[in-house]
Amino acid sequence: MTDRFRLTLAQLNPTVGAIEANAGKALAAWEEGRAAGADFVGLPEMFLTGYQTQDLVMKPAFTADAMRAVDRLALACADGPALGIGAPYRDASGLYNAYYILQGGKVLARMLKHHLPNDDVFDEVRLFKPGPISGPYRIGPLRIGSPVCEDAWYEDVAETLAETGAQILFVPNGSPYRRRKIDLRLNVTVARVIETGLPLVYLNTVGGQDDQVFDGASFVLNPGGAMALQLPAMEEAIAHVDFEEGPDGWRALPGTLTAQPDDWEQDYHAMVLGLRDYLGKSGIARVILGLSGGIDSALVATIAADAVGPQNVHCVMLPSQFTSAASLEDAAGVAQRLGCRLDTVPISGPQAAVAEALAPLFAGTAAGIAEENIQSRLRGLLLMALSNKFGAMLLTTGNKSEVAVGYCTIYGDMAGGYNPIKDLYKTRVFETCRWRNREHRDWMQGPAGEVIPSRVIDKPPSAELRADQKDEDSLPPYAVLDAILERLIEGEQSVAEIVAAGFDRATVKKVEGLLYGAEWKRFQSAPGTRLTTRAFWLDRRYPIVNRWRDNS
């Protein structure tokens, strides 16, 4: 009789610090697996505590609480399939990122993560001690080897497991989203499959945590790299995969292959999921934002409507003497199409009061940026007052291009608790709006159709802080600006390299100066959804005070 083995994959969304709630989700998944006749139910890396914990995991009381929860979960799952779950482990030798196998009311095996990532958003070398390479563990007829997340990116762990008798590789992960990450994971895991000749199960967590979004997209590969199962991106899913042993070893039987979305949909879904979980996991149901009639606030309002529903999005137009009639019409058009509440609060009265208060000190000086920024700061003040009064989180709306060069007002339009488009360059803002107007998905809570009027997308961007102002009065055209910024930020290219690529040297130097000079603003900015490998915060950590400039 052919041996068979059923593995239940629980691609679920934990909350950092919600240990009992996460344990409850794990137990529910285990019960579903037991009902389906599973031999093993697997959950992702560090699922019990949520991921990433950052320095929270270094607190002994927190780690002890998590380890006690592991023991309770083992007892609760004593009668049925084995359960795999990630959680910290501490003993006299140190603190480890561990993966526990629970069976029969106790810990059957414990894998300690060997390779600790120390790049991008990860700083695990600071938090954990690297564990030894663990051998395989047996569940029923099958010997399973479990490289923990980063361990699968190196040859040595998988090779050792194969040499010590593993028959499949089961890899629990906490791998955050960034553009084209799914393809990168496939390239790495196919290499492990080819090297070992073993099937590989890649189980990833899903959900938002601060700036990071974990995209799920778990999969199963057979020897040779053929895909047997593909779970959806950005969504919770529980799936059962059956393995059979034949003359050539164990193989996964074919399952559902969920088509993966393109870059535009993945980015947009990440921004929606990131905002939804940032709010939901913080216990906040509603948002408020300033809707200016421009493209950035229109996109943020749309993301918010898709994340928490239009009924929970409060838009406020705060016109000044420089706000055009077209902007008033466009803000109203966006709110109406989305189905969001829109209120208008003119700032002319507060602006006049501030001007009167400052008149003795400003006497004899020419009006300029200080007066312009008063408008932005008054808007921030009024929006924060509404946020405090009604318990709605204020969203800030600056795109990556503006955040990069400081084309935003600290304590003004930068005020807010979260920024969904913080890692989205302006040129991608335009295309994302067009994409959303064309597309609608079941996970979007906002309406289908053209929710952002074409006039909002096509008109020249303006902060409207002075008469006839346009962004390009102060900045290069966004197509040029973004191309330079991507080379400076994502590419870490020198000025000489960028000039050699065909850009004007004076323009490049101006952008470089603005980028470095705005570091202090970014240090105080709201978190926002990470979409690239060089998002502002954990990915790119530059000093605030920095006198160096590239003179190449």
pLDDT digits (tens, 9 = 90+) for 53-87: 999 999 999 999 999 999 999 999 999 999 999 99
210: alpha, beta or left? (left if phi > 0; alpha if psi -120 to 50): left
Structure tokens at 93: 């030798």
Structure tokens at 285: 């149901």
Residue 33: pLDDT band with limits 50, 70, 90: very high
Full-model pTM: 0.95
Structure tokens at 253: 């039987």
| Cβ atoms 23, 264 nearer than 8 A | no
345-366 average pLDDT score: 95
Complete domains list, the chain, with CATH: 4-250 (3.60.110.10), 264-523 (3.40.50.620)
Q: What percent of the chain has pLDDT over 90?
A: 92
Write down the pLDDT at residue 492: 96
Calpha distance 486→423 (Å, rounded): 11
Residue 1: pLDDT band with limits 50, 70, 90: very low
Structure tokens at 351: 């602006």
According to DSSP, the β-strands at 227-230 and 82-91 are unpaired
Write down the pLDDT at residue 464: 66
Calpha distance 199→194 (Å, rounded): 9
pLDDT digits (tens, 9 = 90+) for 498-544: 999 999 999 999 999 999 999 999 999 999 999 999 999 888 999 99
429-433 average pLDDT score: 97
- What is the greatest pairwise CA distance in the chain? 95
Residue 2: pLDDT band with limits 50, 70, 90: low
| Cβ atoms 202, 171 nearer than 8 A | yes
324-339 average pLDDT score: 95
Average pLDDT score over the chain: 95
Residue 119: pLDDT band with limits 50, 70, 90: confident
Could you identify the residue written with the tokens 């216990």? 283
Write down the pLDDT at residue 145: 97
3-state secondary structure (DSSP) of residue 364: coil
The better pLDDT of the pair 466, 105 is held by 105
Write down the pLDDT at residue 381: 97
Structure tokens at 24: 């409850």
Question: Which of the residues are catalytic?
Answer: 45, 113, 149
Structure tokens at 334: 């966006």
| Cβ atoms 355, 347 nearer than 8 A | no
pLDDT digits (tens, 9 = 90+) for 120-134: 899 999 999 999 999
349-373 average pLDDT score: 94
Task: Return the beta strands (E) in 165-302 as ranges.
Answer: 168-173, 200-204, 206-209, 212-215, 219-221, 227-230, 237-246, 249-252, 287-290
Task: Return the beta strands (E) in 336-414 as ranges.
Answer: 341-344, 393-394
pLDDT digits (tens, 9 = 90+) for 163-201: 999 999 999 999 999 999 999 999 999 999 999 999 999
Residue 469: pLDDT band with limits 50, 70, 90: confident
User: How far lies 167's CA from each of 108, 358, 521, in Å?
Assistant: 18, 76, 53
229: alpha, beta or left? (left if phi > 0; alpha if psi -120 to 50): beta
399-415 average pLDDT score: 94
Calpha distance 436→441 (Å, rounded): 10
| Cβ atoms 212, 530 nearer than 8 A | yes
Residue 104: pLDDT band with limits 50, 70, 90: very high
pLDDT digits (tens, 9 = 90+) for 479-510: 999 999 999 999 999 999 999 999 999 999 99
Structure tokens at 194: 């080819």
| Cβ atoms 336, 365 nearer than 8 A | no
